[in-house]
Structure 1
Amino acid sequence: MPYETAVHLHVDGAPFRAPHALANLVRLFAHWREPLREVLRTNPACRRLATLPEPLVAATNGTPTYAELRAAAAEGELTKYFDVNLTQLLTDTPVRDTVEIRILPGRIEAAPVVDRAALVELLLDRCLDPAPIPPAGTSRPCWNWPPRRWPGAADRPAGHAAAGCHPEPAAALPDRVTPAQLAVRPTVGGAGVG
């Protein structure tokens, strides 16, 4: 396997054109960068990864508009070579209307790739919720969030707080995260691995 190997996951960009979803996507990959890299086991040899530009991250404070996020991305000289490629969301003429997640490790076996893609899908579902994703250290991320599965607080499984936190910390996730452990369906509906 090549030394700098990685998997780039492309998902439909349309839902992330909503300002709250785009802001949450930025918050997720900026504020939770190290926990995400640890849980997903990002290849440390990958050189074409970086934290999102500070002007874009700063723009997510409060309730930014799409135009404000777009201006901040331009100010921060956003390119595709960050942990998440948002360039296709911030142009009027996208080549592919996708969000590209670039921090998944390369693997020869398909199962670990699909497992990590399922985890990313859950996190991206959380980005669609209007509530801002908090900075790391202020709460634990919820790995079982999908609103489409638990539409109301009464529908959440026992042990989940009102904010939707999973009782297990991220560090407890094993090397091979299975869909059963994440309580997700076995496919990665609509996500393409490439």
Structure 2
Amino acid sequence: MAITLDWKTGFEIELMAPAGASRQDLAQRVAMRVGGTVQRFFHPQSEPSAVEGRPVFENLTPGFRVVDGQGHWVASFVDDLTLQRDLDRERPPVDGWRRIVADDGRLLRLVERHCDPDAAGDSSLIPLAALFGTEIVRHPSGMVRVADDRGRSVAIDAPLPGERERPCEIVTAPIEADHAGVLGTLLADARALGFFVPVEAATHVHFDAGPLCSTAALAALVATWTQHGAGLKRLVGMNASCVRLGDWPEGLAVLTRSDAFAAMDWAAAKVALVGIKGLGKYCDLNLVNLINGRADKHTVEIRVLPGLLEAHEIVAAAALFEGILGWCRDAGRGEAVPGTLVELLIQSPMDDGARRLWLDRLRQENTAIAGSRRPYSRANTLSGDET
């Protein structure tokens, strides 16, 4: 029996195009299948900077949004800067593929609002220069620079280097029904073009955060992940090569288990959560979108799934976490977290097929661990001195 999901979810699936292809190719194939169109847009990202005093550089890279014949968003196909090891960085840039870099994300918001992602060649920053009362400056290297009227750099437009057109993160529209069917057609398109799972890949699942907007539910979620997160990461096979993962700051658990937090209404709780130092997006479970409450992305994001290219595997993993989030949603204030992972899976309200699958995998994992322990013998426990 197929595993089904009840929660509204969105998916981010990290893939790699084969050499000579790009994420635009996949977007065009999907658009053709759904009778829709491809819209090019500026996709914002950030990356660490080696320049002193500038911890990150903000980037805009080419993204491709597919809408169907009725104008409804189907999926977007964007870059992910963490995907590196499958690329030949010495390859020359591909014509028409460029990125825009600045050291302040607010400047790139101006680019998104005023510049045309479809602009020909290296002319995309002309409207930005006009906002500052200057003109673009072209360099022989292919870079285009915008400075203000005092010569201070605003943004740079440069050729996209080293096969950066090949990484492809599929970002789906929120899915409310037939999750396996929707994902299955998208991934069939990707496989048909030779897309594959890259070395650093992960799969992220965004669950609608609405059902978790209470201090009791959030406290249960933090307590559950603190107790069972390591076991769940082993169970789903988290990719050790994946980056931008990590633990929550200690202050989150301290706050959510306090009597003061339990007594807060949700509005006050969000203010307290925003004040936790170091609580950011790049955690195993991303709560930032839950706390900020953005209407277009009000989610709890599960970031620990490995790269996957089969819809049934993604849905099965999502069903596991749907059940755990459901337990947290339904938990009474101060209710104890189930003591073992087996108990948590049994008590969580998840699809029965998913429960059987994950309990079976957990038994297999425990059997493998037990089998790897060598039986006691005098010979293999003697120290060097004893021999």
The TM-score, its normalising length taken from structure 2, stands at: 0.36
Residue type at the aligned position of 2:315: V
Aligned residue among 13, 20, 24 for 2:220: 24
Aligned equivalent of 2:347 = 145
Partner of 2:206 in structure 1? 10
1:18-97 maps to which residues of 2 (within 5 A)? 18-63=214-259, 64=261, 65=264, 66=266, 67-68=268-269, 70-97=271-298
Partner of 2:363: 172
Change in Cα spacing, 1:88 to 1:121, as seen in structure 2 (3 Å) is same
Deviation, 1:73, is 4.7
CA deviation after TM superposition for structure 1 residue 24, in Å: 1.4
Which shifted more, 24-33 or 64-73? 64-73
CA–CA distance in structure 1, aligned partners of residues 325 and 364 of structure 2: 18
Distance in 1, Cα, partners of 2:216 & 2:345: 20
Distance in 2 (alpha carbons) for counterparts of 1:173 and 1:11: 28
User: 1:70–1:127: structure 2 CA closer, same or farther, 3 Å change rule?
Assistant: farther
TM superposition shift of 1:57: 1.3
Deviates more, 1:26-35 or 1:112-121: 26-35
The question of whether the paired residues in 2 share the 8 Å contact of 1:9 and 1:100 is answered with yes
Task: State yes or no: 1:105 paired with 2:306.
Answer: yes
Identity %: 32
Note the 1:121-132 alignment, pairs <5 A. Answer: 121-131=322-332, 132=334
2:285–2:300 CA contact under 8 A, matched in 1: yes
Higher relative contact order (CA 8 A, sep 6+): 1
Gaps of 5+ in 2: 1-196, 352-358, 366-387
**Secondary structure of the equivalent of 2:300?**
strand
TM-score, length of structure 1 as denominator length: 0.68
Q: Residue by residue, what CA displacement relative to the aligned partner does 1:72-92 show, whole Å, maximum 9, x if unpaired? A: 453232111001111111125
Number of residue pairs the alignment of both structures matches: 154
**Contact 2:201-2:242 at 8 Å conserved across structures:** yes
Q: Which amino acid aligns with 1:47?
A: V
Equivalent position amino acid for 1:172 in 2: R
1:88/1:95 contact within 8 Å kept: no
Whole-angstrom distance in 1 between the partners of 2:362 and 2:347: 17
Instruction: Sort the Cα spacing of 1:106 and 1:148 in 2 relative to 1 into closer, same or farther, 3 A.
Output: closer
- Higher-Rg member (1/2): 2
Deviations along 1:36-92, one digit per CA (max 9) or x if unpaired, are 101111111111011111100111224423434642453232111001111111125
Task: Tell me the amino acid that sits aligned with residue 144 of structure 1.
Answer: I
State the match for 1:159 in structure 2: none
- 1:29–1:83 CA contact under 8 A, matched in 2: no
70-79 or 2-11: bigger deviation: 70-79
Distance 1:173 1:126 in 2: 24
* TM-align CA RMSD: 2.7
Q: 2:219, 2:256 within 8 Å by CA — same for their partners in 1?
A: yes
Gaps of 5+ in 1: 150-167, 175-194
Cα-to-partner distance string for 1:107-155 (whole Å, 9 max, x where unaligned): 12222211111111111111112344646xx811321324599xxxxxx
Aligned partner of 1:120 in structure 2 is 321
**Structure 2 CA distance for partners of 1:170 and 1:89, relative to 1, 3 Å:** same
Whether the aligned pair in 2 keeps the contact of 1:56 and 1:69 (CA below 8 Å) is: no
1:68/1:97 Cα in 2 relative to 1: closer, same or farther (>3 Å)? closer
Q: Which has the higher strand share?
A: 2
SS at structure 2 position matched to 1:59: helix
Q: Which amino acid aligns with 2:363?
A: A
Cα distance in 2 between the residues matched to 1:97 and 1:31: 25
Asked if the contact 2:324/2:349 (under 8 Å) is kept, the reply is no
CA distance in 1 between partners of 2:360 and 2:250 (Å): 27
